[in-house]
Each structure stands twice: as C-alpha cells, then as structure tokens.
Amino acid sequence: MCGRYRIKDTDVLTEHLRASFGIPDWVMTPRYNIAPSQDLPVITMSDEGHAAVRTMRWGLVPFWDKSAKPKLAPINAQAEKVVTNGMFRRAVQTHRCLVPADGFYEWLRLDEKTKVPFDIHFRDRRPFYMAGLYEPATPERPATYAVLTTSANELMARIHNRMPAILNLAAAKRWLKPGAVTEGDVATLTAPPPADEMEANPVSSLVNSPRHDVPECIVPVAFTPPPCQGELF
C-alpha cells in the first residue's frame, strides 16, 4: 500500500513539471510526511490536452456518495482491479491523475509489536509520479483522490508486497491523456520500476505520526536486521 509520501525538493519538481508537462511555476512548501485526508497537489489534464496542478484531498470518495460525511474514502486502489472494481471503474476511464512525490514510506513488520519505517526513493533523488484516480468536487466536499498500488519490485518485496504505481515519464503522459484504458493498458503502465534504480533507508519512528512534518523524518538511522532477515538490505 501507500499511506505516506513526501515532496521535499519542490524546486526540482517545479522544473520537472515545466519541462515535461508545460506547467507554469507553482509554489509549495516542502512536505516531509504527507498523510491521508490532507489537501495536496495532483496533476490533471483537460480534454484539450492542457496539464495543470490542482489541490485535492487524499482519500477518494466514490461518486455515488453525496453525503457530507462519507463512509468510504480509500487512499489506495489496486491497479489490477480498477477497471472492474465498481468504486473505481468510472474514475479510471474519466478521471485519471498523477500524484507527484520524491519519496514514500513503508513499514517493515518485524513482529506483532515492532515495525521499522523506511524512506524509499530513486537513487538519483529525482521526482516521480504515482498513478492516481480522482473524483471531482461537490457542494459538500473538495475533489478527492487515491493512489494506485502495484506488485512490489525486488527491493520493495523485502519490506512489503505492494508499492505505489510509479510511472516513467512516457507512462505518466499516457496515463494523463484523456480516453479509455483497458486492463492490459493499466497493467503495462503500472508495472513496478526497476529495483536497482531505487533505495530504501531506515528512518526514525518520528515519521509514524503525521504531526511530524519535518526534515528529520528522512534522516537515515542505523538498522540491524534480525538474523532471519540478514540479507534484507
């Protein structure tokens, strides 16, 4: 799954958005511990082919829920099921988006009481785009979105069996392009990135609380894997 991510190098992301999507400069405060239910930037494309940054709330409310206090607001959607799942199948055809980030967090479970957080990112520290779906704003609430997840690559499989669906630039542009997609299209676009391009650093439990949105969240810490996981990292 993907329950936390970060956007710390906002200047780098701004340059990337301008060069790759023609999006004018936008201002954002660096974020080190993004959590569900927060209002965050996503990238959408109009029918005319113009990309733009919009603010949406993380946690997709299905289109049929018109209440002010929705009962369902999933933060993730499994890429393998979005074309057929009733909650997402309309959005995947009409409301696809990109969720920018430059790292995400996942927790390695050591036992029933112990989990170790890891900061996962590309080795070259480049920004990336996660496949997303959204539902437009209503009179009761803002636009909402979910991040797609896919099977883990070899690096992530040592921590968790799922990871966010990170798209290369060509796949990101295809994902944004208006028009229908098939199950095969989604599977191809959301295939996990090469494990050797990524790294996972253990970080402190500071990141466990969304109240902590500070640079210290991504500072690596020492971690000695248990004997049975000696080959982990």
pLDDT at residue 69, as a whole number: 83
Judged by phi (left if over 0) then psi (alpha if -120 to 50, else beta), residue 22 lies in left
Place of tokens 């640079």: 215
pLDDT at 149: 98
pLDDT at 17: 94
pTM surpassing 0.85?
A: yes
Residue 32 lies in a domain: yes
The CATH number covering residue 110 comes to 3.90.1680.10
> Per the structure, how many domains does the chain have?
1
Residue 159 lies in a domain: yes
- In a domain, residue 156? The reply is yes
Which one of the listed residues 15, 97, 106, 135 is annotated catalytic?
106
* Residue 223 belongs to a domain: no
97 tagged catalytic: no
Residue 113 is predicted with a pLDDT of 85
Query: Known catalytic residue: 106?
Result: yes
- Angle, CA of 88, 106 and 53, to the nearest 5°: 50
Whether residue 232 lies inside any domain: the answer is no
Indicate which residue of 2, 97, 135, 217 is catalytic.
Answer: 2
Does residue 151 fall inside a structural domain?
yes
Would residue 233 count as lying in a domain?
no
What pLDDT score does 26 carry? Answer: 80
Domain span at residue 62 reads: 5-216
123: in domain: yes
Per-residue pLDDT at 66: 82
Would you give per-residue pLDDT tens digits along the chain (233 residues)?
789 999 999 999 999 999 999 998 788 899 999 999 999 999 999 888 899 999 999 999 999 988 878 889 999 999 999 999 999 999 999 999 999 999 999 999 988 888 999 999 999 999 999 999 999 999 989 999 999 999 999 999 999 999 999 999 999 999 999 999 999 999 999 999 999 999 999 999 999 999 999 999 999 999 777 665 545 55
